[in-house]
C-alpha cells in the first residue's frame, strides 16, 4: 500500500479507501494507493504550517545548500526514478529519463535562490529617506499534479516554492504515485527539515480540502482545462493565489520552404512521443499549400507505419502504452468520430496488438489527413498518439486558424524564412512558440505557461514567474530620527 509522507515520515492512511495502481504495459495491478480523508489532508497541512516559520527564517543560502544536495542525489537516482515512472505510466525508459532531467533543471534554477530573492534599494528617494523592496514567502502552499509527468511537474513546483521559504503540500495523480514518493524520500535525504514537503495521496476529497483550507495561501495545478478552471474558481473564491495550467491543442505550421524531412521527423517525435500524452504534444500539422501538404503526408505515412511501440523495457521501443484502459477507449472513440465526420485515416493504430502484452493499453500511431476545424478530432484535446493534418491555403489562414482555437498553450513553425518566423512569433496568440523547434518548452530560467483556456491565473510556472508566484513583494521606506524635521505634516508626502 502506497502511503502519504507527512512531517518527514511515511504515514499509512486509515481512511479505508483505496484504488489500484496498474502497469499500463500489462494491464496488471502493481500496487494499492490509499486515498486520504479530510482529516489526514489537514494533518499534513498542519505539519506544513508548524514548519513554516522556522523554514521562512532559514537563510536563503542555507536553503540553497540543501537544494544543491537534492540536485546531486536526483542525478544519482535518475535511473531508479525513471523505472518507477515507466512502471506506472508506461513511457519508455529514455523518455522517463528525459522527464527527470527537465525536472532536475528547475531544481538547479532553485539553487540560485539567494540571487533570485535579492530586492532593490534606492537611496535618498526623499530628504534622507531610503526605499528598498523584499520578496517574502507566502507560508504554506500546495501543488496538484497530473499523471503524464509524475516526476517533472512536481519538480516544476515545490523546489522553487521551498527555496523561496514556503512549506509545501503535494497532491499527485492517483495513477502513478510511486515516483513522487521516491523523490520525496530523496528530498528528505538531502537534509530538508520535516514538514517542509508533505505528500498526500487522494481523490477529489483531497483536492477540495486543499482548495478550501484557510491555511494554504497558494495552489499550483496542471491538468485538463475543465479541472483547471474548477481549481482556479474554487481556490480563488477561498482567497488563494492560483496558477492553473490546463489543456492544449498545439499546431505546427509547415511553410513551403521548410525542410520536409526535418519537419516530418519533428512531427513524429512531438506527436507520438510519450504516446501523445503531453500538454505540449503537437497534435495538428498545418502545411501551407496543397503541394506542401502532399509532400509532408508522403513522408509521414511510412514513418507512422514504422513507429516501434512496446513496453518500457524494450530498448527499441519509441512509444509505450497510454495510461489506462479508459484512455485507450476514449482515444479510439475519437478516431471513430474522425472517420465518421469525413477525415481520411491514412494510418490506423487501433488494431495494434503486441504478443505477450495483449492486456496492455497499447495503441499504434494514427494519422489523419484532410481534417477540418469543425471536426471533434480537431477541436478536442485527444491526449493520445493521433496526428491530424489540417491543410491551409496560405500563411494567413494558418495563423487565423491557430488564433481562433480556444487553447493557447504551444505552437511551432517550420521555415527557412526569417521574416515569416518573426511575423509568426509576433502575431500568434499562444504562450510558447517554437521556430523550427517542435516542442518549445522553455528552459528552467524562463517560465512555462500558455494563453487563453490553457492557463487560469496571472503567473506562469517555474523560472522568474515561479519566484514571483510563491512570494509577496514588500516595499519599505525608511527615515531615521536625525533626518526628521519637527512639526506634523498634513499634506500628502512628496519628494
Query: Rounded to an integer, what distance in angstroms lies between the CA atom of residue 426 and that of residue 454?
Result: 19
Is the dihedral angle over the CA atoms 316, 145, 163, 42 positive or is it negative? negative
The span from the first CA to the last CA of the chain, in angstroms, equals 65
Give yes or no: 279 in active site: yes
Query: Rounded to an integer, what distance in angstroms lies between the CA atom of residue 217 and that of residue 238?
Result: 9
The CA angle 370-372-374, to the nearest 5 degrees, is 155
Query: Rounded to an integer, what distance in angstroms lies between the CA atom of residue 131 and that of residue 394?
Result: 55
Catalytic member of 66, 183, 279, 297 = 279
Catalytic residue IDs? 279
Amino acid at each position: 500500500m502506497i502511503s502519504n509522507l507527512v512531517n518527514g515520515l511515511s504515514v499509512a492512511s486509515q481512511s479505508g479507501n483505496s484504488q489500484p495502481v496498474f502497469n499500463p504495459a500489462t494491464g496488471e495491478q502493481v500496487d494499492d494507493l490509499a486515498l486520504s480523508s479530510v482529516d489526514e489532508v489537514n494533518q499534513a497541512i498542519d505539519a506544513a504550517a508548524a514548519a513554516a516559520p522556522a523554514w521562512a527564517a532559514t537563510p536563503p543560502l542555507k536553503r540553497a545548500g540543501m537544494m544543491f544536495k537534492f540536485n546531486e542525489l536526483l542525478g544519482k537516482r535518475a535511473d531508479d526514478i525513471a523505472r518507477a515512472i515507466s512502471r506506472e505510466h508506461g513511457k519508455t525508459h529514455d523518455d522517463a529519463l528525459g522527464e527527470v532531467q527537465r525536472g532536475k533543471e528547475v531544481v538547479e534554477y532553485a539553487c540560485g535562490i539567494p540571487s533570485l530573492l535579492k530586492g532593490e534599494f534606492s537611496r535618498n528617494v526623499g530628504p534622507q529617506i531610503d526605499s528598498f523592496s523584499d520578496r517574502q514567502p507566502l507560508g504554506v502552499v500546495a501543488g496538484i499534479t497530473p499523471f503524464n509527468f509524475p516526476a517533472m511537474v512536481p519538480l516544476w513546483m515545490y523546489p522553487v516554492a521551498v527555496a523561496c521559504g514556503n512549506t509545501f503540500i503535494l497532491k499527485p495523480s492517483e495513477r502513478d504515485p510511486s515516483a513522487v514518493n521516491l523523490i520525496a524520500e530523496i528530498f528528505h535525504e538531502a537534509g530538508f527539515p520535516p514538514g517542509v514537503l508533505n505528500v498526500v495521496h487522494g481523490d477529489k476529497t483531497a483536492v477540495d480540502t486543499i482548495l478550501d483550507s484557510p491555511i494554504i495561501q497558494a495552489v499550483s495545478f496542471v491538468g485538463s482545462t475543465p479541472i483547471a478552471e474548477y481549481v482556479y474558481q474554487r481556490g480563488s473564491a477561498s482567497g488563494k493565489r492560483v496558477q492553473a495550467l490546463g489543456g492544449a491543442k498545439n499546431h505546427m505550421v509547415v511553410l513551403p520552404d521548410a525542410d520536409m524531412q526535418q519537419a516530418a521527423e519533428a512531427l513524429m517525435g512531438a506527436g507520438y512521443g510519450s504516446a501523445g500524452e503531453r500538454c505540449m504534444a503537437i497534435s495538428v500539422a498545418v502545411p501551407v499549400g496543397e503541394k506542401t501538404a502532399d509532400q509532408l503526408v508522403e513522408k509521414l505515412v511510412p514513418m507512422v507505419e514504422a513507429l516501434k511501440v512496446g513496453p518500457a523495457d524494450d530498448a527499441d521501443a519509441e512509444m509505450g502504452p497510454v495510461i489506462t484502459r479508459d484512455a485507450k477507449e476514449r482515444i479510439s472513440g475519437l478516431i471513430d468520430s474522425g472517420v465518421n465526420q469525413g477525415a481520411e485515416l491514412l494510418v490506423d493504430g487501433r488494431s495494434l496488438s503486441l504478443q505477450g502484452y495483449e492486456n496492455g493499453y497499447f495503441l499504434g500511431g494514427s494519422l489523419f489527413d484532410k481534417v477540418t476545424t469543425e471536426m471533434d478530432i480537431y477541436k478536442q484535446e485527444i491526449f493520445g498518439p493521433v496526428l491530424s493534418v489540417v491543410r491551409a491555403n496560405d500563411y494567413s489562414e494558418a495563423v487565423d486558424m491557430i488564433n481562433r482555437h480556444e487553447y493557447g498553450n504551444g505552437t511551432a513553425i517550420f521555415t527557412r524564412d526569417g521574416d515569416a518566423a518573426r511575423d509568426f512569433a509576433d502575431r500568434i496568440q499562444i504562450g510558447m512558440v517554437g521556430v523550427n523547434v517542435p516542442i518549445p518548452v522553455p528552459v528552467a530560467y524562463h517560465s512555462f505557461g500558455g494563453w487563453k483556456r490553457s492557463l487560469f491565473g496571472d503567473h506562469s510556472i517555474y523560472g522568474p514567474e515561479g519566484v514571483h508566484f510563491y512570494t509577496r513583494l514588500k516595499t519599505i521606506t525608511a527615515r531615521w530620527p536625525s533626518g526628521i524635521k519637527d512639526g506634523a505634516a498634513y499634506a500628502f508626502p512628496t519628494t
